[in-house]
Structure 1
Amino acid sequence: MGRARLATQTHPSGGQATVTATYAHVAELAGWLNLSEAGILHLAGSDRLRFLQGQTTNDLRLLLPDRGLYTAFCTPTGHLLSDGYVLEADDGFLLVLPPETWGDIADRLSKAIILDDVVVLSLQEELSLLSVQGGSASDLLEEIGIAPPPALPLAHHTHLWQKAEIRIIYNDRTGFGGFDLLVPYTILEELQTALVASACLPIDAALATVLRYEAGVPQAGVDWNERTLAAELHEAFVQSHISYTKGCYVGQEVLMRIHARGHTNRRWTPLRVAGTTPPPRGTPLSAPDRPDAGWITGAVISPALDGAVLAWGFLRNEYLAPGTTLQVGTEPPMLATVLPGAPRPARWLAL
């Protein structure tokens, strides 16, 4: 199928039709996500490693000059404040955080600096985050003259493009593979034009939600909030974001107790829902022996499940076994079956 035929979605924008990527387009070629509202912080100073090591869940001693780490920030009680990732770059650390959380994390880090030689700067005015995702993302970047790093979680390097430095990071947000690009605003429009000219089209919000749910990527403020324990997200998130061997950090005591116990009381889990209408966020899930077995955080029509409804939600441990059937609290009620995992898991862990 030709590139033009894969891109058939149009949306009105200011009276003009905007062409956006379809699911098939992303699967076969690539599309791009506008993540310009994400937070990009730079931490510098001789105490930066010790300081950030005590604030975040992963072991930053494992950072390499060309490989970053996923991480998270928690309250002292182990509740999740933010996810994100850290890179060693520009004589310091680059910290990339979701739009929903970065302001609070920047404020927390700044307030935690007392006698430390640490400086926290926001790069919001200088850099934008754009993510190219899809089955041919690597080839497409090469086509426009940008050399991608290896397809390893958070492998990264810089590349000079149109006389400006872009940092390219392998970060799979969709299960199809892809790259985050930290782009100076001076060339952002030119880069977007080059991507569209190569049939890499923007991914709209609805498709982005489908792709991230199929990949098992939770979103701050939607799938988790400050009442969610970091260990309650699925196993791939826990393995890639949390260290149980690094020593003290905010929330470590509670997370270590959970780890020693072997489980939390609930976990974020995928389900296949009967019917054709995705149940709304917050819909309760019940079992024959328990009316409050869990609740749904979001649901979509999933091409990866042949058009069935894919939902994610928090379930109590007793109901996590794949194949377990639960009742969805819609009117009329529907049935949901627990899936063994995300239909197309994001590559957060090195193979």
Structure 2
Amino acid sequence: MATVPSFNALDSGVRLTHLAALDVKGADAEKFLQGQTSAQVSLADGRFAPLTCFCTPKGRMLANAQLMKIGDAHYRLLLSTSLLETLTAHLKKFAAFYQAELIPLSELPLIGVGENASSFADALDLPLPNAPGTQSANARASVLCYPGDTPRWLFCLESDTAIEVLDDNAGRAAWQLADIRSGLAWLTEAQQDHFLPQMLNWEALGGISFKKGCYTGQEVVARAHFRGQVKKRLVRAELSTTTEPTTGASIVNDAGKAVGEVVTSALRETGEIELLAVMNTKVVEEVTPVYLDDTPLSLLTLPYPIERLDPEQLAMGLAN
């Protein structure tokens, strides 16, 4: 049975154990990341924290993340806990040629906070960022503003910082539901090396720079964009059941043909399931009836248009 979300729990601060951090430090940290990630790394300036992803040479996503700058030659990636070890191992193969150290931080406290975030920020002497994708940091902690109708922030507490927070499943469920409602899907180990970034709407969220130089998988990702070869897209949907589907569960049409798969899901406050799924774009455009375990799946709107949003444009908007 899925956990009923509690947005009130976020006001007290909730441990986000489904997320983890990977720090990249060293004189070549920026140069190293620039050759591996879809982000224009120079845009991560301590205020703007761009979305990014890491791909195979065939353009399939190994992980997606948010890239923060914590200090000089010090970057932090926030990603799914299930991908922390595998992404670290993948990147170490390339980091050996740079003055760059990879530090997986599986125990770093990541705290999700709702409307009470200003109290947390004051206690940590941090300015509270007020636009999605913006951050601030000091020696005690860093904080990142998240998107969505529900005000929320993610705090990273450094090792010598102690704040009392909840280890609460209902609060984590509320955070994950807010991600779903924001159309934001974090890749997990179950679907690694499975999707092009555009299949998770990553370019519509500003997670791909088409203006930077080469990075692993860049050629395939760019070709899919400029030739319009993306035939599957992330959609938001609801399901009239209280049983949360498994990641990768198949979505079928009237004929029983698979037309999509579940990426992430969460129980709604009123009892139904909300989810994000990658589906065939033709099925979505034609509003074809689809089902998950014989239960009709109803499509919902996303809070953003499916069109390219350059991270350079986002950063420029914050600067003005």
Kept in 1: contact 2:85–2:104 (CA 8 A): no
- Residue number in structure 2 paired with 1:334: 295
Partner of 2:181, secondary structure, is helix
Partner of 1:106, secondary structure, is helix
AA paired with 1:233?
L
**Are the structure 2 counterparts of residues 202 and 174 from structure 1 closer, same or farther at C-alpha, using a change threshold of 3 Å?**
farther
Deviations 1:141-165 (A, max 9, x none): 2564643332123433334xxxxx3
CA distance in 2, matches of 1:298, 1:22: 15
Kept in 2: contact 1:213–1:342 (CA 8 A): no
Deviations 1:113-167 (A, max 9, x none): 4554x22141638x72322332x133332564643332123433334xxxxx323
- Residue number in structure 2 paired with 1:148: 127
- Residue number in structure 2 paired with 1:221: 188
1:66 to 38, 47, 70: 47
AA paired with 2:22?
I
Kept in 2: contact 1:86–1:96 (CA 8 A): yes
**Are the structure 2 counterparts of residues 26 and 89 from structure 1 closer, same or farther at C-alpha, using a change threshold of 3 Å?**
same
AA paired with 1:104?
T
1:251 to 217, 222, 225: 217
AA paired with 2:302?
G
Percent identical: 19
Write out aligned runs for 1:19-58 (5 A): 23-26=6-9, 29-35=11-17, 38-45=20-27, 47-58=28-39
- Residue number in structure 2 paired with 1:309: 273
1:266 to 215, 225, 232: 232
**Are the structure 2 counterparts of residues 66 and 208 from structure 1 closer, same or farther at C-alpha, using a change threshold of 3 Å?**
closer
CA distance in 1, matches of 2:105, 2:246: 34
Q: Cα offset for 1:285?
A: 2.1
Q: Cα offset for 1:54?
A: 1.0
More RCO (CA 8 Å, sep 6+) = 2
Q: Cα offset for 1:310?
A: 1.5
Deviations 1:22-73 (A, max 9, x none): 624147x35322449713313211x333322111101113232432222111
Kept in 1: contact 2:261–2:278 (CA 8 A): yes
CA distance in 2, matches of 1:320, 1:207: 27
CA distance in 2, matches of 1:24, 1:158: 25
2:205 to 234, 239, 246: 239
Write out aligned runs for 1:170-185 (5 A): 170-172=144-146, 175-185=149-159
The CA RMSD over aligned residues, in Å, is: 3.3
Kept in 1: contact 2:64–2:186 (CA 8 A): no
Kept in 2: contact 1:41–1:122 (CA 8 A): yes
Deviations 1:265-306 (A, max 9, x none): 211211122455444444332224671221223433313xx5
AA paired with 2:66?
Y
- Residue number in structure 2 paired with 1:203: 168
CA distance in 1, matches of 2:230, 2:303: 20
- Residue number in structure 1 paired with 2:283: 319
**Bigger CA radius of gyration:** 1
Count of residues in Structure 1 that have an aligned counterpart in Structure 2 = 303
Kept in 2: contact 1:133–1:173 (CA 8 A): no
Where structure 2 has 5 or more consecutive residues not aligned to the other structure, the ranges are 305-310
Where structure 1 has 5 or more consecutive residues not aligned to the other structure, the ranges are 1-19, 160-164
**Are the structure 2 counterparts of residues 75 and 307 from structure 1 closer, same or farther at C-alpha, using a change threshold of 3 Å?**
same
- Which structure carries more strand by proportion? 1
Write out aligned runs for 1:38-117 (5 A): 38-45=20-27, 47-98=28-79, 99-113=81-95, 115-116=97-98
Partner of 2:187, secondary structure, is coil
Q: Cα offset for 1:178?
A: 2.6
**Are the structure 2 counterparts of residues 187 and 24 from structure 1 closer, same or farther at C-alpha, using a change threshold of 3 Å?**
closer
CA distance in 2, matches of 1:87, 1:279: 32
**Are the structure 2 counterparts of residues 114 and 96 from structure 1 closer, same or farther at C-alpha, using a change threshold of 3 Å?**
closer
CA distance in 2, matches of 1:158, 1:275: 42
Kept in 2: contact 1:299–1:312 (CA 8 A): yes
Kept in 1: contact 2:83–2:189 (CA 8 A): no
**Are the structure 2 counterparts of residues 145 and 279 from structure 1 closer, same or farther at C-alpha, using a change threshold of 3 Å?**
closer
CA distance in 2, matches of 1:82, 1:240: 16
